[in-house]
Amino acid sequence: MLSQRLFCVSDFDNPLYLLMWSFAYVSLCQGLGFTIAVVLGLAFIETPSSLTYTSDIRFKPKPWEPPCGLTEGIEIVCLCIFILDVTVKSYLIGWEEFRMNKWLIGYIVVIAASVIDWMLSISMMCSESLRVRRLIRPFFLLQNSSLMKKTLKCIKRTLPEIASVILLLALHICLFTMIGMLIFAKSDDPKKNGEWETYFKNLPKALSSLLVLLTTANNPDVMIPAYSLNRGYSIFFILFSVFGTYLLMNLMTAIIYNQFRGYLLMSVQTSIIRRRLGIRAAFEVLCCPGRGHTSTQSEGHVERVAVNMFLQVMDRVHMKSYCRQAIIKAAQQFPDGFINGEAFQRLFNELDKDFMKEHPPKPEYSSPVLRHIQNIYSHFYITVLGNVVALANVICICTVLVLNSEKSGSEKNNFYMEILNCIFILYYLIEILLKIVAFGWRGYLSYRNNIFDGFLTVLLLAIQIAIFITYRIPYEDIDPVPQHVMALWEMVRLVNMLIVFRFLRIIPEIKLMAVVASTLVDLVKNLRAFAGILLVVYYMFAVLGIWLFQGAITPPSNMSLISNASIENKTDGPFSMDCGTFEQLEYWPNNFDDFASSLVLLYNIMVVNNWHVFTDAYTRYTTEWSLVYFVAWWLTSSVMWVNLFVALILENFTYKWDRSNALSVEDVERIAYQSTVQLIFREHVQEPTEEELLAQLQQHPHLHLSW
């Protein structure tokens, strides 16, 4: 940031110091992202390796294991880069600042622990079963992102409110568990013990059954044995679901949304104040480069910055090129060559905006025919016509898919499908050529929809030409699959898939769809910190899962048991072929035997559908205490993080929709141009006053100015 650089200029005159600052916060930071990705990616290669085509323990081949020293060599290089980074940053901020920076202290502790653990691995010839450094690697990702640190701080402050609802949920489950154990107690009649035997046999079983019912994953299975005996038993389960699932869980979402939004608003407020303070300090440094403790306002000082000096500084500032160009362009508009304080602040509002390409003017033609074509193909109705044609194309594809749904590749007759594809591709090609005539080559490429259409059309044409060259006309009745790299029906299917993608061109033309699509883009662009923290949580739970449950799930030695659905649960060990169990559903690929399969298993539990199948299997194959791990993951991912993400989606979409109500379809694209996390809450953020900024500048330890 400009303000960050100008603080350094005001505080230090040593060129070497400034060079180190630029190296630490520009050059080194750019390489740290790649280094962090490499060190986190080592988990896929290290023992247990994920380099197999399947994770199914019944068919999984022995994975390739890297030789000792390969991943360790890559890791020590990454650790050396981290050591260089923390050394330079610690030197630059000074000892006083370093002692108060908990993240840097933690950075050093994590690096030291990683180096020690790495040395132990080398001394044991990579034969150790537990690598502690794998669990703490995600810290490097957190430490390198200021937005992730803010988000983590907001989550930390929100936890007390979340904990209160979780405690209420726990009381709700415990209360209904005790009531359920009283209602469904063991009876003298074995025929009436179905509910007790399956779900309420003991306290842990009853707790886990109702916990799963809270997520609706085992509904209505959990109440069927009792409901079969007496329909009145359904009242118990309905009351439990109404209070727990529909009231308390939705209350959890509301609290997370309200509390986290409040804390995020506080964080954005602090960020805005710091930015305004930095820009105001930069203004003071530029408008009075020679002012020190002895200078006063009465010495003829003018609170303005010369445009020429400002442009010289901008040439040396590291920022996005389009932001720099926009700021420079705005600065050059001042007629008298000077910028006052208020205008100086407004210049840097461009930092909140993304690049938006300006459309060049249309070409001017002397030919009446070309002008007529330009008028027609510049009209909005041509876009509507193209969408109608794309819709007709998709309908034709759907019709053919329905007719050929039960035919194999050799039985399908692709002749008529090819004729239709050729007709539509010819229309798309003509449409592209005429649009290029209407808008010009540069004007055509200035629209993202045109680039999307053009790329798919050229690809469709290339594949169609390849089909003509390979198969000639007319096509043979039997597709000679062995003679060609790709069969005819596969190439036709690829063409149809691309055509279906081309139908996405309608999204920007429909206002609601445009708002939804831009909301999704903004979520990827502006809420990366939340995804980053979720990645950290996934990483740590996956490593813990490997430590705790690697090799716990084992298929039976007699594989014929798996296919014999009529057998009863009379095998040795924890193996079970009861309906709905891990073995009967063939969930064998879901395990903790390597890092990749652990991530997939954690995702399946986060979705919560059938997550009780996994908990049941691991309690049978290990101990009942394994349930603690899975419940902790469910609370972290499904209860907290999914609700948090839903809340932020609602906030982002509401902001977009409110702004788009007064806009046309063509203007919706511009909403994304000014839609950062700060701008989502801009209406609720209070700008600091001039007096507040000056008061904080006077107290700043690294900026010594007097007024």
User: Domain with 653 in it: what CATH number?
Assistant: 1.10.287.70
Q: Among all chains, which residue has been given the structure tokens 């149809």?
A: 496
The model's pLDDT over 639-651, given as tens digits with 9 standing for 90+, comes to 888 887 777 777 7
Helix intervals (H) in 288-414:
307-314, 321-331, 341-347, 368-377, 380-403
Residue 166 lies in a domain: no
65 and 17 housed in the same domain: yes
DSSP H or E segment with residue 334 = none
59 and 112 housed in the same domain: yes
pLDDT value of position 520: 67
Phi-psi region of 69 (alpha: psi -120 to 50; beta: other; left: phi over 0): left
Residue 610 lies in a domain: yes
Rounded to whole angstroms, the Cα distance separating 346 from 362 reads 33
pLDDT value of position 80: 92
Work out whether the CA dihedral 403, 408, 411, 417 comes out positive or negative.
positive
What's the number of domains the chain is made of? 3
pLDDT value of position 251: 83
489 and 623 housed in the same domain: no
pLDDT value of position 693: 75
pLDDT value of position 148: 83
Residue 207 lies in a domain: no
Residue 270 lies in a domain: no
Residue 326 lies in a domain: no
SS3 category, 561: helix
- How far out from the chain centre does Cα 508 lie? 23
533 and 664 housed in the same domain: yes
Contact 28, 84 (CB under 8 A): yes
Contact 434, 377 (CB under 8 A): yes
30 and 89 housed in the same domain: yes
551 and 646 housed in the same domain: yes
User: Domain with 387 in it: what CATH number?
Assistant: 1.20.120.350
Contact 704, 285 (CB under 8 A): no
> b vs e for 189-202, b when ≥16 Cβ sit within 10 Å of the residue's Cβ?
eeebbbbbebbbbe
Phi-psi region of 688 (alpha: psi -120 to 50; beta: other; left: phi over 0): beta
Residue 113 lies in a domain: yes
Within the chain, which residues score under 70 in pLDDT? 1-30, 262-265, 267, 288-302, 318, 322, 350, 352-358, 408-414, 471-526, 558-573, 652-653, 655-685, 700-707
Rounded to whole angstroms, the Cα distance separating 314 from 331 reads 10
528 and 493 housed in the same domain: no
pLDDT value of position 179: 92
454 and 593 housed in the same domain: no
The residue type of 360 is P
- Which among 391, 657, 670 has a CA at the least distance from the CA of 504? 391
424 and 532 housed in the same domain: no
Structure tokens given for 31: 């390489």
Pairing status of strand 304-306 against strand 338-340: antiparallel
535 and 667 housed in the same domain: yes
415 and 529 housed in the same domain: no
pLDDT value of position 546: 94
Residue 28 lies in a domain: yes
The residue type of 26 is V
Q: Which domain holds residue 536?
A: 523-556+577-673
Contact 488, 376 (CB under 8 A): no
Q: Among all chains, which residue has been given the structure tokens 């000096």?
A: 309
39 and 91 housed in the same domain: yes
Residue 586 lies in a domain: yes
